[in-house]
Structure 1
Amino acid sequence: MLILLSISILTLLIASVVMILASILSKKTILDREKNSPYECGFDPKGSARLPFSLRFFLIAVIFLIFDVEITLLLPIASIIPMTNIFSYLITTSLFLSILLLGLYYEWKQGALDWSS
């Protein structure tokens, strides 16, 4: 227990020293209006650099990420077929796929997948 505590304290001490040295030795930047502009070329921008972002696109991207993560959870199921009972495999896979399809159906009915509207 004493060894674990001493290793933890030593690790914390080394990390703190490295962070303090990094903040002391880091290059300090001078805030300048031209340097903070989105173009950094010395010219004043004509319009706003902040363009409006499509909320529809963001929602579809989040839905894609959710279903992508669920597919990565689904891929290892094929590798466990020899190690499991076929009945429990079918029940588990069917339940997981039905939850995925119900989620997709819900998103479709809510209109989240309609890009044109």
Structure 2
Amino acid sequence: MLRSYLPALVFIALGAGVGSLFAGLNRLFGYRNKRKPTTYRDDPYECGLPSEIQQGFRFGISFYLIAMLFILFDIEVVFLYPVAVQLKEFGTFALVELSVFIALLLVAFVYVWRRGALEWR
């Protein structure tokens, strides 16, 4: 039984080893140990341009709501692919279940749309 877990244990050990090695090398050779940190060096690099977003800047709730809805509907649509690939093997039952799933997705989308969650404010 241990032999079936051996590849996973080796993979975990290698991952932990490589991660620890890189963290140790960073601590040993990192620039913060050799140079004095300044506010200019601590600023995030934004494609060569100075960042215009202040630390107190907050995104609106509509941004997060649309992002969550996109992730929700995107992940649900991803579940359609495996069933669509094997639809001939699954038969009529899978087609009916797939139709119910799509109908529920459509109802949820219409509900979200009618509530105004997709309008950018």
1:4 to partner: Cα distance: 7.8
Q: Following superposition, which runs of at least 4 residues in structure 1 exceed 3 angstroms of deviation?
A: 1-9, 11-18
Give deviations 1:21-72, integer Å, cap 9, x for gaps.
7425341414322222357xxxxx8x76244423212211221122111111
Q: Aligned pair count?
A: 109
1:104 maps to what in 2?
109
Which structure has more RCO (C-alpha within 8 Å, separation ≥ 6)? Answer: 2
Matched, 1:57 2:49: no
The structure that has the greater radius of gyration is 1
Return closer, same or farther for 1:5/1:82 CA change in 2, 3 Å cut-off: closer
> Structure 1: which 5+ runs fail to align?
40-44
| TM score, norm. by length of structure 2 | 0.62
1:27 maps to what in 2?
30
| TM score, norm. by length of structure 1 | 0.63
Q: 2:65 & 2:90 partners in 1: Cα distance?
A: 37
> Structure 2: which 5+ runs fail to align?
none
Residues 1-117 of structure 1 mapped to structure 2, 5 A cutoff: 8=9, 12=13, 15-16=16-17, 19=20, 22-23=23-24, 25-29=28-32, 30-38=36-44, 49-50=54-55, 51-86=57-92, 88-116=93-121
Q: 1:92 & 1:60 partners in 2: Cα distance?
A: 27
Percent identity for Structure 1 against Structure 2: 31
Give deviations 1:84-116, integer Å, cap 9, x for gaps.
222x02221122112212221331233211224
